[in-house]
Structure 1
């Protein structure tokens, strides 16, 4: 039986990788540093509602094993056995995971164990060399590093699936299943009989495109929806004005991306056009909007797209409006939103836009976002 160690047993770890690999006959191991996540999974089962094109399916996942970051290193058998280690983590947490896994991978090297594929399931781009170095630094000696160089692959993936739950500890998860996980070859594991796994070259460029196409209209919907008082993405996207804004964001973004990356517009449209599920999975506006400091930054989904438009002579009206909506997003539970609001009060809206969006204070983007923001605030 093939086996996978999923590091990070939150929403995506359970709802996408845990569900997919378990359903397709793999032995699934989970490793998480949060004791509450581990203890919840120790009940021995959890449920996933899967939204697909041909219907909605409920699956009970059992037969997995779960470990914490304990001093006894109870996860050693899983680290020694797994053909695949999948890191379902924020990029800033991957070095810590690599440091913890280093002991087990070093032992695997000393036993001359089977080849290992490490999948980095994060939206952060151009970080694979950094993650690989973190694993190499965690190994215990030159012999272990030599084995790792010959027998382990640290590779990139693109996750094209929404997965959600009330909390990371929740045992009821919902997910969409219409698009495969893209995996950058080469790999040592055999994914040929596992659904939703697809080997594909050129992931760094595709990851840029994904951020600017999948994520931009989603963020635009969340910030506009918040300002109109909606609580969920489905509620917001049913609003004709917000639906039109989302469409315009893509209509502006794709010509700019085409010129910037040298990819025909029709190919980008094809990549970002997701099949519709028979029923739609909802998501909270809070989850999609959270951390506007990151989502409005210079190279992220809204400002990055707008700057491509400016560069290539495209008027980013909808993107400008969406950035202004993001600057006006003042959800009290969101620490980063509160930082932006404090910045606006202390430094003024123009200075805050320049700082958050990472552009010069005299750029047209600042002037136009500020004007739109003042309209929003009346």
Structure 2
């Protein structure tokens, strides 16, 4: 069997990417992670299950995955890098704070391959909820390679972006390993694979011409709605997204922000604005009684989600930089500074910072603003003003 190595063994890494490659039947899975407890648990149990739910009809398909190996990125370093160097596919499934570590690993594996004169073709598929993923990874990888290694990279290795968009959570808790997700069976990947002649790609891979455009639409539209429901739902005292989606006051505010984002995407990228039926389908899935997504899961990692390039400020700046209003998106940012999850470290840190230093300093810090820039000053003023209205 050929090897697939997945860097990042969390919900998406196992619940979508691992599950999809397992269905193909041609690949042995290698999961790699820095979480020693997770590595040990996967080794001990030797299997995990994924529930794949139809969010509209409610059908539930259960798959058990048991053909895999697990590597601690640090403690099993030699074996892990060897797996990267010898896999047909290497896939990242990471949060942004792990990007640089993954780049180090990928560079190390490329140098090893070059040293050993390996001629097998490898495809590195980048996956993360991040606009500009290729732009982040590729220059940093190439900067660390010699001219000869760069030539080798061009000949034998493809680096491709992807869109892993299955919603995945823990069915019970992290220690149980059982995952719960929606039944998305497609992984969109940019064209450009390097494969032997007559090699058949896994059927779940759909090649697209511009994955960045796909990611912009996903993160700055659907993910905008998703985090908006978390922030506003939390403000109203709800626990699951279903409650927030059924609140007309919440939906009205989300719709207003969504329309600003979609107008900017249409103007800049000519991405069509979904019709009423398409919009309803998205909301129906959010409201599905078969997948009650908890707001504390959606709202976690708040500090990352308040940053410039993420699901709120990303589309807000797209609007502002192109002469379009972003007032309603920035209102959602203000609600983000009210987000209160007593069990979430980011949430408590942000609230504590606001209390000690004031909302203005908090917005500057957590949104990463540079006040020499005009639109950064606009963002600061509007978010602070909206926050102060909320706190009156």
Same fold (TM over 0.5): yes
| Separation (CA, whole Å) in 1 of partners of 2:245 and 2:83 | 43
Note if contact 2:127-2:162 (Cα within 8 Å) is conserved in structure 1. yes
Q: Which residue of 2 aligns with 1:246?
A: 254
Query: Is 2:127 aligned against 1:121?
Result: yes
SS at 1:328 equivalent? coil
Query: Is 2:159 aligned against 1:154?
Result: yes
Q: Which residue of 1 aligns with 2:99?
A: 94
Query: Is 2:63 aligned against 1:59?
Result: yes
Query: Is 2:87 aligned against 1:73?
Result: no
Specify whether residues 124 and 102 from structure 1 end up closer, same or farther in structure 2 by C-alpha distance, changes over 3 A only.
Answer: same
| Separation (CA, whole Å) in 2 of partners of 1:143 and 1:101 | 16
Q: Which residue of 1 aligns with 2:38?
A: 37
- Cα offset for 1:204? 2.2
RMSD: 3.4
Note if contact 1:5-1:86 (Cα within 8 Å) is conserved in structure 2. yes
Note if contact 2:123-2:157 (Cα within 8 Å) is conserved in structure 1. yes
Q: How does the TM-score come out when normalised to structure 2?
A: 0.82
Query: Is 2:243 aligned against 1:235?
Result: yes
| Separation (CA, whole Å) in 1 of partners of 2:173 and 2:242 | 19
Query: Is 2:226 aligned against 1:210?
Result: no
| Separation (CA, whole Å) in 2 of partners of 1:311 and 1:121 | 27
| Separation (CA, whole Å) in 1 of partners of 2:200 and 2:357 | 53
Q: Which residue of 2 aligns with 1:15?
A: 15
Query: Is 2:310 aligned against 1:306?
Result: no
Of 158, 173, 188, the residue aligned with 1:182 is 188
Counterparts of residues 253-268 of structure 1 (less than 5 Å): 253-266=261-274
| Separation (CA, whole Å) in 2 of partners of 1:345 and 1:306 | 26
Across the two proteins, how many residue pairs are aligned to each other?
Answer: 376
Specify whether residues 272 and 149 from structure 1 end up closer, same or farther in structure 2 by C-alpha distance, changes over 3 A only.
Answer: farther
| Separation (CA, whole Å) in 2 of partners of 1:312 and 1:129 | 22
Specify whether residues 275 and 48 from structure 1 end up closer, same or farther in structure 2 by C-alpha distance, changes over 3 A only.
Answer: farther
- Cα offset for 1:154? 1.5
- Cα offset for 1:37? 1.4
SS at 2:104 equivalent? helix
Q: How does the TM-score come out when normalised to structure 1?
A: 0.84
| Separation (CA, whole Å) in 1 of partners of 2:79 and 2:110 | 14
SS at 2:239 equivalent? coil
Specify whether residues 297 and 97 from structure 1 end up closer, same or farther in structure 2 by C-alpha distance, changes over 3 A only.
Answer: closer
- Cα offset for 1:253? 2.0
| Separation (CA, whole Å) in 2 of partners of 1:3 and 1:41 | 18
Q: Which residue of 2 aligns with 1:222?
A: 230
Specify whether residues 3 and 101 from structure 1 end up closer, same or farther in structure 2 by C-alpha distance, changes over 3 A only.
Answer: same
- Cα offset for 1:111? 4.4
Q: Which residue of 1 aligns with 2:50?
A: 48
Q: Unpaired runs of 5+ in structure 1?
A: none
> Can you list the C-alpha shifts for 1:259-288, whole angstroms capped at 9, x where unaligned?
233434359996996596686423221222
Note if contact 1:32-1:68 (Cα within 8 Å) is conserved in structure 2. yes
Query: Is 2:306 aligned against 1:296?
Result: yes
Specify whether residues 157 and 321 from structure 1 end up closer, same or farther in structure 2 by C-alpha distance, changes over 3 A only.
Answer: same
| Separation (CA, whole Å) in 2 of partners of 1:351 and 1:265 | 36
Specify whether residues 282 and 133 from structure 1 end up closer, same or farther in structure 2 by C-alpha distance, changes over 3 A only.
Answer: same
Query: Is 2:387 aligned against 1:373?
Result: yes
| Separation (CA, whole Å) in 2 of partners of 1:294 and 1:253 | 19
Q: Which residue of 2 aligns with 1:328?
A: 338
- Cα offset for 1:88? 1.0
Note if contact 1:179-1:274 (Cα within 8 Å) is conserved in structure 2. no
